[in-house]
Amino acid sequence: MMMKSTEQILIKYLFYTLIFAQFFGCSSSVKDQSIEHNKKKRTTTKLPIRKAPKKKTVALTNENLEAELLKYGEANKETLVLMKTPKGTMKIKLYENTPLHRANFIRLVKNNFYKETMFYRVVNDFMIQGGDNDDWSRQTIKSKMGTYTIPPEFRKENIHKKGAMSMAREYENNPEKRSVSFEWFIVQGTLYTEGEILGAEQVYNLSIPEEHRNIYKTQGGTPHLDGQHTVFGQVVEGLSVIDSIAAVKVDDGDWPIQNITIEFQILE
């Protein structure tokens, strides 16, 4: 009987030893798996990407505009834009010899200033004008761009022939002939005879060189605006679109009866 009890005790001891070993073996295995899992999570966890802050548009003033526009022009050298209208598209080459006006225009286009604008003054045989209006909804973007005028950049080679893109300006209290901030016009003009060129020279105190006389005789334009407004670009494709826009019906204020909307796309 005693022997049997001892065997029973030994069997029970071995049984519990086996159970004990299995239990802790499983625990160790689960623990190891848990560590691996945590390691895996740590190695695959992605840190949040810190985005670079968006550059704030500097509002221009007459005091800072030359430095700011020259700096902007160095970083944004585009000179070719496409103007889309309901009457067709025009490709416009901007002049590099008018750096302030070129940079100003590219800056406005890139900031979507001209989005949803339209031609608001159209005078047949003279010019088509756009770039802004007095709609109250535009005050926010105007204030973002700044309050300023641009020093003139008159260049003898940049003349108001047909297709010239030129900046508007105030005529009163503006002895320097500074350009306004946003508004521009594109010349349609007419063909001139030699007699009409002589008359323009006398009336507007001009001296038109021979090569320009030939341009006004063969291509047309508005010579009396030379030296009065800064020409900063030229329509190089789509001159017929100017004629189509200039021919639309307008109200007493020269505003087209049907809106001629404008959309710009920078090409290069």
**CATH code, domain carrying 238:** 2.40.100.10
pLDDT at 49: 57
The predicted structure's pLDDT at residue 203: 95
The secondary structure of residue 131, as a DSSP letter, is S
Structural domain boundaries enclosing 117: 79-266
Tokens of 189: 């003009």
Q: Please answer whether residues 267 and 94 qualify as being in contact, where contact means their C-beta atoms are separated by less than 8 angstroms.
A: no
Please identify which residue in the block is written with the tokens 């889309």. 84
- Please tell me the predicted confidence (pLDDT) of residue 56: 78
Distance CA 5, CA 213 (A): 132
Whether residue 45 is contained in a domain is answered as no
In this prediction, residue 184 carries a pLDDT of 98
Domain count, the chain: 1
171 φψ region: left (φ > 0), alpha (ψ -120 to 50), beta (else): alpha
pLDDT of residue 135: 82
The answer to whether position 42 is within a domain reads no
Q: Provide φ and ψ at 64, rounded to 5°.
A: -105, -5
Selection from 161, 186, 165 nearest residue 244 by Cα:
186
Residue 49 placed within a domain? no
**Vertex 222 angle, CA 241 and 230, to 5°:** 90
Ranges of residues in the chain with a pLDDT under 50 are 1-4, 15, 18-47
Query: Does a structural domain hold residue 13?
Result: no
- Residue at 134 is within a domain: yes
